[in-house]
Amino acid sequence: MTQPRAKFRAPSPVPLPAWRATALWAVVTLGLVVMMAQAWRAQVERGPFLRDQGALRYLRHFALPAQRGPILDRSGKALALSVPVQTLWVDPRLFDAQQARWAQIATALGISAATLAARVRGGGSQFAFLARQRAPERAAAVLALHVPGLYSLHEDRRYYPSGSIAAPLLGFTNVDGRGIEGLELAYNAWLQGKAGEETGLRDNLGHPLALLGAARPAQAGRTLTLSIDRNIQYVAYTALASAVQRFQARSGAAVLMNARTGEILAMVSYPSFNPNDRADYRPGLYNNRAVADTFEPGSVMKPFTIAAALDDGSIRPDTTFNVNTNCFRVAHYCIRDDVRHGILDLAQVLKYSSNIGAAKISLRTPPADLYQMLRSVGFGQVSGLGLPGETGGAVPDWQGWDVARRAAMAYGYGLSVTPLQLAAAYAAIANNGIYVQPTLLRRDSGTPLHSQRIMPAATAARLRDWLTGVTRRGGTGFLAAIPGYTVAGKTGTSIMANGKGGFRKHQVNTTFVGFAPAKDPQLVMAVVVREPTQGWRYGGVVAAPVFRVTMSAALHRMGVQPDTSAQTWTATTAEHLTADQERRWAEGAGDAAH
């Protein structure tokens, strides 16, 4: 008999502990809290950082270059301006695959294939310059080849319409548009403007896809308006260049300024350079010699010797001097005149440029008074123009002057000056004894930046009258005479020192400084031609004609009316000249030695 099968009975469920459910909910809740904390941190705390990091992968900030401000002359004519150009660059990752076309590209650029390859290899892995600042039409011809990996950038290039005529004054910029010489450097902050910025999308090869948001526009540089007159600058440069070339001189410089306002109407140097051709940028050419080159000025210092002596009572206006000697000995030195004279008054000391007369005047004058006069008219200190490379020259302290130095200072030895300083100093004589600070910026008000009286008006008036004799018949500066105008001025010819206590007898610097019209001076000019090697090497022969040509043009350009009739001018200046003198006057004395 079989036993009955027992029924299966499921085990009774064991109830879970209450803490396990609580723990589960705690874990879930903690996970949610952690996720929320991480979300908070990512979205709020680190949100800006993460968004910026993401943007770096697809957003680019592109600089918008600011156009450099123009430089204008006093009439608004451009002396320097920026013109649009194209810069060609390549992405070597794409461009390397096009080597079969490199020869074609090089021909379009006007360079050799080897040069093109060197430029590509000389860049980075993603960027290399191929050609900087090319004319848009020339760049378009290269881009028309549609070579993968070849791109262009829009840039500006500085252009100087006057070329070499004003180059040492204006200076130039580097390839990135920053001033590095001349006025371009001195006023770089004023001219360069402020770059802008735009944001856009680019792909992984850097190609632009779209612009995002409004761009921050670039702020163009400001306009710089000079006191320079481009027409007068041209005449001064060509006259100076002609003199340097004709007399085979080493260099020359000239400054023409308004005697009353201090505005400089022309500042030229020769030799010069072409600022539009970077291959012509050589240090020996782009120096502004009008402010950077110093020299012993010679006899053009005699008016200031006389002014100092008159002002302190060492001499009287009617004092005369016996210069009838071949040698006026001072200490161990022998002072001579080019032509022997007898008794000279002060006007004749200037007219005939007597070194003996000037030395005798200086030896009567306390050295401190002559020193003070030289300093008050600007010698030994910079002018305040702020031009790079400007020097103040040198006027040694009077306490160290021995008797020989006192005599030599009277006729321009023992100190060094610049052409600009000479122009400004003579402007004080022209301006009734008031020194005005030179400026290269146009002064619409007609008033100087700074002025001060440095000699009595009566002294200045006497010097103006006496200096007119220099340019009249028999004076050393008759080649500076201008028909219809009375001209006052002074010649200077200084023998160059050899650095060993002596002189190079055959090396001289020639100078003429003067103003016109002498009866009511408006304009003053200093001309320096250094180391002429041909012809009659005197200031009245080499430098004076440059003054005459330039000053004549400037007087007409500025609307200054003649102050003497043609008949009077002929009688006082040109009458009774020899045929040789007439030819030298007409031709600028260039063939005087032949």
Query: Token pair of 487, please?
Result: 């001209």
Label the pairing between strands 251-258 and 523-530.
Answer: antiparallel
Q: Give the three-class secondary structure for 249.
A: coil
- Crossing angle of helices 302-311 and 457-468, in 10° steps, is 140
Q: Which residues pair with 485 in a beta bridge?
A: 482
Nearest-angstrom CA–CA distance, 211 and 267: 48
- List the Cα angle 245/246/247 in 5-degree steps: 95
165: tokens are 């005529």
Question: β-pairing, 208-216 with 196-202?
Answer: antiparallel
Which residue, among 513, 224, 526, has the nearest Cα to 386 in the 3D structure? 224
Beta strand pairing call for 224-225 and 71-72 = parallel
Distance CA 526, CA 253 (A): 8
The rounded distance, in Å, linking the Cα atoms of 311 and 98 is 82
Say which of 164, 269, 299, 314 is annotated catalytic: 299
The neighbouring-strand residues paired with 62 are 198
| Paired strand residues for 499 | none
Q: Based on the residue annotation, tell me whether 299 is a catalytic residue of this protein.
A: yes
Residue 211 CB: number of other CB atoms within 10 A?
Answer: 12
Two tokens, residue 586 = 């007409």
Cα-trace Rg, the chain: 38
Structure tokens belonging to residue 73 = 């002359």
> What does the alpha-carbon distance between residue 375 and residue 382 come to, in Å, rounded to a whole number?
11
Q: Are 537 and 502 contacting, i.e. CB atoms less than 8 angstroms apart?
A: no
105 in Cβ contact with 116 (< 8 Å): yes
Main-chain phi, psi angles of 35, to 5 degrees = -65, -40
Cβ atoms 288, 387 nearer than 8 A = yes
Q: Are 27 and 20 in contact (CB under 8 A)?
A: no
Instruction: Choose among 450, 454, 429, 444: nearest CA to 385.
Output: 450
Helix (H) / strand (E) element for 445: namely none
SS (H, E, C) 187-248: CHHHHCCECEEEEEEECCCCCEEEEEEEEECCECCCCEEECCCHHHHHHHHHHHHHHHHHCC
Q: Can you tell me the distance from the alpha carbon of 190 to that of 187, in angstroms, rounded to the nearest whole number?
A: 5
CA angle, 62 then 67 then 73, to 5° = 170
State whether residue 169 is helix, strand or coil. Answer: helix
Angle between helices 367-376 and 302-311 (to 10 degrees): 120
d(CA 421, CA 377): 8
Question: Active-site positions?
Answer: 299
